[in-house]
Amino acid sequence: MNAQNKEKGFNRFTHSIRNSWAGLVDAVQTEDAFQQLLLAMSALLVVALAVDVTKIERIILVASCFFLLVVELLNTAIESVVDRISLEIHPLSKRAKDIGGAAQLVAIVMVIIIWFMVLI
């Protein structure tokens, strides 16, 4: 679909949701790291709902879990784009992938700090 025929209004919204859902399903089905993270975050969500904390602390615990999933999805998207451009080893490709991985590492450290501060 070119720019002149681009959907508008509610059709654009529903089309966008379908594409987003397809991306999520693809990540769940094909990405080992996302599957492992989803499993770990599912366990953390159960813990977040079971522990005796304030409502705002519970929201922060849950939000941190979703944030980690978002960063993993973005990291996966970066890796896919880099691989789409070329599978040839290139310093800029390595840099893009490494920085995406660094974002995931920072997010993991953030989640650990948040959980530690709320629960301890």
Residues with a catalytic annotation lie at 72
5 to 12, 25, 79: CA distances (angstroms): 11, 27, 30
- 8 Å CB contact between 44 and 61: yes
Distance separating alpha carbons of residues 96 and 82, to the nearest angstrom: 8
